[in-house]
Structures are given as C-alpha cells and as structure tokens.
Amino acid sequence: MLDTAVPSLAPTTDPAWLLVEEGFTLVREHELESQFAIANGYLGSRGSLAEGCPLSAPATYIAGVFDAEPGSVPHLVEIHDWCHLSVSICGQPLRLDVGRTLEHRRILDMRQAILWRFWRHEDKDGRITRIRSFRFASQADRHLLVHCVEITPENYSGPLLLDASLAASATQTTHEGVSVSVALANRVLDPDGRVIGSTELLSGNQPFRAKRGSTYRLERVAAVYTSRETDRPNEAAQRHAEDALNRLTEIIADHQRAWQIRWHASDVRIEGAPEDQRALRFAAYHLLSCANPDDERVSIGARGLSGPGYKGHVLWDTEIFMLPFFTLTWPEAARAMLMYRYHTLPAARANAARLGYSGALYAWESAATGEDVTPSFVGTPEGEVIRILTGEQEHHISADVAYAVWQYWDATRDDRFLLDAGLEILIETARFWASRVVLEEDGRYHIRCVIGPDEYHESVDDNAYTNGMAQWNLETAANVAERCAVYWPEEWQAIGRRIAVSEEEIQSWRNIARDIYTGFDERTGLFEQFRGYFELEDIDLSRFANRIAPMDVILGRENIAKTKIIKQPDVVMLVYLLWDRLPAEVRKANFEYYEPRCGHGSSLSPAIHAVVAARLGNMALAEHYFRQTAEIDLANNMGNSAAGVHMAALGGLWQSAVFGFAGLHLGESEPRFQPNLPESWRRLSMRFQWRNNWFDVALP
Ligand code: BGC
C-alpha cells in the first residue's frame, strides 16, 4: 500500500493567494492557459485542460531550447503534452462539452505554485463523477513536472478507462543540435493505495472496474533532460522519472519549501486592497516561475514560459522591466540572466561589426546564441505584409543591458560579477555608442536613423531616449573603468589583455557624452522625443478614450507616424531611468507633456506611467495606470494574453508598487523611501536585499 501526500494536499485557504476560475467559458480558454501556466525556469507548461477542449492549445517549453523552420526565425520548442489524460466512464468520454457540469473550478494556488482543478460532472445517463487534480513544475528539482488526478464515481460502479497514450513513456527529439528527452513514470492506485497498474493502464484500451464512492488516483511524473546538461538525456530522464515517482511525497514537500523560501524574499504584502494584493502576487508568481539561477545560458522571454508570443525571444523587457525584481529579491537569478548577456557578447560584437560598428550591439530579439532573431516581416490578419525594422534600428537595447549591469552591481556590490563579466559589457556597449555617433557640423554628436521605445516612429534621428541612454552608458563605462583601474589593478590588467582599453579611449567616451545632442530645451524643460517631433500633428487622444483597438490600427501605421501619438513611454522612460540626474521640474514637465500623447499600444507602457505618476504624487493617474497594468493579463485587456502572460508588465507592476507607491530610491549610501500609497493601501510590507543586507520594510 502506498501512502503518498497526494490525498492530503489541499489548496491554500487564504483567497489573497488564489486565482479562481469558476465554470467554463470556452473563448477564455487560451488566456487562462497562459495565466495558469506552471513553470520553474527550466520547464514551463500552459495550464490546458488535461482532456482537451475544442480550443485547447497545450504546450510545454524548455528554457533556451529553440528550433527554426527553414526561412523563419527560431521559436521555443514545444515538447509533447505530458499531462494529457482522457477519462471514459462506461464507454462515455468525460468532457466539459458532453453531459452536464455540476461544478468546475480551477485554482492557481500561487503560494504553493500548484494548479488545481475540481470538477463534478454528470453524464447523460445520470452518472456523476468527481475529479480532483493538481499539477506543478518543481521549483526544487527543475527537471520535474508532476500531475496527480483523483477520480471518484459518486453514484455508480462501472468500467473506467484512462487514456494518456498521447504521452508516450519516453521520447527523444533534436532541435538545433540539442536533444531533448522526456520520460514519464505513472501509476494508478486503488482506494486502498494499492498500485493497480501503470503505463499499460493508461493506454486507452484497458478499462478497470471502479466502485461507487471509491477514489482512484493517477500519479505521474515527467522528467525532462537535454543534451545541454548531460550526454545521455534519455537515460537521465527515465531514471529521474522513476525515482521521483517513488519519492513523490518528498518531491511535493521540497517544491513547497522552495516556494516558501521564494515568497519569504519576494512577497509584497498589501493590507486593505485584496485585488491589488492578488495582482502583485500574480506578477511575482510568474516572475519567480521563469527564473533559473543555475543556468547562465538562458534568460526570460517576453512571454516567459507561458505561451508562444515573441517565440520565446528575449528583449529589453528582461533587463529594464523584470530584472529589478530579481536584483532586489533573488540576486542569484538576476546574475544568471545578466550572465546570459555576457555569454552572448560574441554575437553582439558580431552584430555591431556586421553593421560596420565597433563594440557590442545586442540583438533586439535574442534566442539561444544572441544572434539577432527579430523577424523581418510580419503578416497582418488582413493579409498585408509589413516590414519590421526594430531588429535593424532599435539600438537602445545595448544601453539597456548596460544599465541593468550597473544597476545590479550597484545594488549587490557583486564585484566578482563586475570584474568577470559586467565591466566587459559596459565597455563593449560604450564602444558601440562611440562608433555609432557621428560628429556633425554643429560640433555635437548625433545618432541618426533609430527606433526608440516608441515604435510608432521609425528611422528617426536623435531619439532622446537612445541618445540619453548612450550618454549614460559612455559616462558610466568611463567611471567604472577608471574605478576598476584604481581598486583592482590586477583584474583591470587582465581585462585589458582581453579587450585593451586605453586612457584616450576612455577620455573619448567622456567627450562624446559631454557633447552628444540630447534634444533638451532649456526654455521649456522638455526633451524633444526626436528631431522634428514637435512639428508633428497633435491629436487629442481623449477623443479616442473608448477605443478597443490600438491607435496604430485605428489611424494606420503610416498616418500615426505623422502624429505625436506615441506607443509607449520614451522620454518618460528616460526620465524614469535617469531620475536622479534630472531636476524635479524637468521630470514633471516631460511627464505632463508626453503622458496625454501616449496611446499605450504596448503592454510595457502603463506600468512606467504608474511609477512616474506615483513619484510625482499624481495618485489618481498612478492608480489608474497600476490597475491598467494589473489587468493586462488578469482581464486580458489588450486581448493578447493567449500568447502568454506579459512578463515586462508583470515586472513593471512590481516596480510601480515598489519604486512608485512605496517610493524606494536606491541612493548612494542607503535605500530611502518616499511613499505615496493609494488610499486603500492601509499598509505595504516587503523585504529586499541591498548590498548583502536584507531590509524589512513596513509602510506607513
Ligand atoms: C514593445 C517593445 C517590447 C515588445 C515585447 C512591443 O510591443 O513596443 O518595447 O519589447 O513588445 O514585449
């Protein structure tokens, strides 16, 4: 008899940790699959129904494993549906769309990181079956996925047929040279905990007799290995799956403990606003689910491991939007993500060289190697083919990566990282900018033909964000290099042997930073977003307040480029990132000018407006943008959560609570808080790590 923890496991009772979906609404299925995804930074699996439904799109991904069809860019590989299970009762399939559902509830238990399902169903002959199931991606052992299902015939006895044949017991596939092995170990137990079968009982052709009122249970473990971790992934997966099934109770306990540790470090607690509390936990749940401090070869894609959006590619979303959360609550994970940028530095150098520049130009969209994998074209639903220029022009990514390197080091003082990797990134990105700028007749350095964060305006000159961040990058690289030369002369010499940097070169960065064109107008205190922006047509966005489509769709791509409407914060983004370098009146003037002109055509947009509005004390606007951010996935308010949750918006939500409402400033000598909490937030408490100390904070 087997006594596992499965029957006694239950969801957390406190509703502030739960996301509950009652009933079943077919059209919501894709967005729910994203919301309810389970992941552990190595594996991620969409929260699809085990038996499927007409709109199910199950998918399980492995971080960093990509494949490409000829002529297209790489996408995250989908491994087979490891938790597929169909159940038939007396010859009738148990499905939500056949018979009558008496009860159906799915619960994402964020505290335990377990996805639950409770289902009571009556077939057309009146037979009532109860199902209780859960699944999770182990946070303690990243190679494991666990799925347990309990089946109880409530008012009948009869043949029960289980079919999990889609999930063969072991498979091996190869993708761009990486072989992936998935092995399953299963067992079916009777009400006394006796094993009555395993894989053969899940083949779909071996019914067994189930007794009225008795609970039968399927316990299954999938283990995944790739040739990146071992040269015998198949053996490793098979052995691991069998072993884990035999230690299921321990596997469950380890997973729960691992999440307890994560939440202890990362939970932001809000008293007085249960919806905001849940939204913040939802954000942290997905962020924590996608990180892996043990793998420096991968980073987090725009939709994490929850869906196919952006094909799993890594963008500035990671460094600018998600990373601060990790830097302050899980620095080991932040470090691994930055190391991904270090390991992809050779590709960034090649990317710069390909365009005739020096140093490192990071790929706008990056996959396994760091080569630029931004698609060049996209087809619209109307059949139009649109050229995508972001891969060629959105160069600010290099400064964004540099910014994250510095921010991480400043908050952790992880000198080893700086000396082994970070400084090289700072130098190579500064080098890129030094070759990218052009000294023109006005005696100023200019950066022509770029796309800033606002992608509604392409091929623009002197984008304020790009120039401002390039200036910051050049100055910071110069400062840090000089500091290293003084404090760590030996290491500095070693770095010099790898990427010789002369004093003249450092001086040239300072000169460029001093003389770069910034678009700043002393008179108005405004930055012009790019050359000519102020002459564009001004359109009153309040006239479109009730729109359901983004502004570029309403006006058309060509037309919107002739207007001042922007897709997302650009100057405001610069103000946010370089906050302490700008006078208060400049921050305010730019926010007040650009905020009404922003169409929020990107999920990255509202969170930054929330942070800046909160810091400026504009609480009504800050709360409005905070909620808009929270609803991007929780209410699918951009209509595209089906492709995965929006990781940058989730990181942005955390930033708006911590850097916005709580007003955390990481100063030179100590962190400070200047809180502006929403009225309903009676109290905010959190922990964070700064320069090797943990701080426990409660506001007010
Ligand atoms: C935004 C980018 C972002 C990308 C992925 C785009 O819509 O404009 O800034 O990196 O989505 O989230």
> To the nearest whole number, what is the mean pLDDT of the chain?
96
pLDDT tier for residue 371 given thresholds of 50, 70 and 90: very high
Please state whether beta strands 520-521 and 377-379 pair in parallel, antiparallel, or not at all (unpaired): unpaired
- The ligand 1 atom at the shortest distance from the C-alpha of residue 647 is 12
167 band by pLDDT with thresholds 50, 70 and 90: low
C-alpha 299 – ligand 1 centre gap (Å): 16
Whether the CB of 316 sits within 6 Å of ligand 1: yes
Q: Is 604 in the pocket of ligand 1 (CB under 6 A)?
A: yes
Going by C-alpha positions, the residue among 28, 43, 106, 66 that lies closest to residue 373 is: 66
Considering only CA atoms, which of 48, 81, 62, 114 is closest in space to residue 252? 114
Query: In testing the pocket of ligand 1, which one of 286, 300, 303, 315 has its CB within 8 Å of the most ligand atoms?
Result: 315
59-93 residue pLDDT tens: 999 999 999 988 899 999 999 899 999 999 999 99
385 strand-pairing partners: 379
pLDDT of 561 reads 97
Give the distance from CA 428 to its chain's centroid: 26
Ligand 1 pocket residue status of 302, Cβ below 6 Å: yes
Residue nearest to atom 12 of ligand 1 (CA): 302
3-class secondary structure, 19: strand
CA distances from 653 to 163, 259, 324, 358, 497 (A): 41, 21, 11, 36, 42
**Rounded to the nearest whole angstrom, what is the distance from the C-alpha of residue 384 to the centroid of ligand 1?**
21
Ligand 1 mutation target, pool 602, 640, 647, most atoms within 8 A of CB: 602
The most distant pair of C-alpha atoms in the chain lies apart, rounded to whole Å, by: 89
Instruction: Give 591-643 pLDDT, tens digit per residue.
Output: 999 999 999 999 999 999 999 999 999 999 999 999 999 999 999 999 999 99
DSSP 427-457: HHHHHHHHHH-EE-TTS-EE--SB--S-TTS
Q: Which of 29, 392, 455, 528 is catalytic?
A: 455
Q: How many CB atoms lie within 10 A of CB 489?
A: 10
Which amino acid makes up residue 608? I
Nearest CA among 676, 529, 544, 526 for reference residue 614: 676
**Distance separating alpha carbons of residues 612 and 40, to the nearest angstrom:** 32
Atom 7 of ligand 1, residue of closest alpha carbon = 602
Instruction: Give residue 563 CA to ligand 1 midpoint distance, Å.
Output: 20
Q: How does pLDDT run across 86-142, given as a tens digit for each residue? A: 999 999 999 999 999 999 999 999 999 999 999 999 999 999 999 999 999 999 999
Report the alpha-carbon distance of residue 625 to residue 619 in Å, rounded. Answer: 10
Cα(592) to centroid(ligand 1), Å = 23
| Ligand 1 contacts CB of residue 648 (under 6 A) | yes
- 447-470 burial, b at 16+ Cβ within 10 Å, e below that, comes to beebbbbbbbbbebbbbbbbbbbb
How far does residue 648's CA lie from ligand 1's centre (Å)? 9
Using the atom order of ligand 1, give the atom closest to the CA of residue 316: 10
pTM of the model: 0.97
Asked whether 663 lines ligand 1 (CB < 6 A), one says no
User: What contacts 22, CB < 8 A, 6 or more positions away?
Assistant: 104, 105
Q: Is the CB of 430 under 6 A from ligand 1?
A: no
**Centre of ligand 1 from the C-alpha of residue 604, in Å:** 7
| Residue whose CA lies nearest to ligand 1 atom number 11 | 602
Q: 316 CA distance to ligand 1 centroid (A)?
A: 8
Atom of ligand 1 nearest to the CA of 601: 7
Where b means 16+ CB within 10 Å and e means fewer, 299-314 reads: bbbbbbbbbbbbbbbb
**166 vs 196: which has the higher pLDDT:** 196
Ligand 1 atom at minimal distance to the Cα of residue 303: 12
Ligand 1: residue of 317, 378, 469 to mutate (most ligand atoms within 8 A of CB) is 317
What does the pLDDT read at residue 211? 97
Q: Examine the residue annotation and report whether 455 is marked as an active-site residue of this protein.
A: yes
CA of 403 to the centre of ligand 1 (A): 18
User: Do the Cβ atoms of 139 and 305 come closer than 8 Å?
Assistant: no
Does position 14 have pLDDT exceeding 90, yes or no? yes
Query: Using CA atoms, how far apart are residues 611 and 294, in angstroms rounded to an integer?
Result: 31
**Ligand 1 nearest atom to the CA of residue 602, by list position:** 7
User: What is the per-residue pLDDT for 256?
Assistant: 98
Q: Which residue's CA is the nearest one to ligand 1's atom 9? A: 453
Ligand 1 site, residue 568, Cβ cutoff 6 A: yes
Atom of ligand 1 nearest to the CA of 455: 8
Dihedrals φ, ψ of 256, to 5°?
A: -60, -40
Say yes or no: CB of residue 310 within 6 Å of ligand 1: yes
Name the residue at shortest CA distance from atom 3 of ligand 1. Answer: 317
Residue 266 has what pLDDT?
98
Query: Distance of CA 29 to CAs 52, 58, 178, 269, Å?
Result: 10, 11, 32, 30
Residue 11 Cα, ligand 1 centroid: separation in angstroms? 35
In the chain, the percentage of residues whose pLDDT exceeds 70 is 99
Over the stretch 397-443, which tens digit does the pLDDT of each residue have? Answer: 999 999 999 999 999 999 999 999 999 999 999 999 999 999 999 99
The pLDDT of residue 168: 59
- What b/e readout covers 518-535, taking b as 16+ CB neighbours within 10 angstroms? ebbeeeebbbbbbbebee
- Residue 602, ligand 1, Cβ within 6 A: yes
**pLDDT greater than 80 at residue 344:** yes
| Domains located in the chain, CATH noted | 5-248 (2.70.98.40)
**pLDDT range class, residue 481, cuts 50, 70, 90:** very high
The reply to whether ligand 1 has any atom less than 6 angstroms from the CB of 317 is: yes
Please report which confidence band the pLDDT of residue 169 belongs to, taking 50, 70 and 90 as the band edges: low
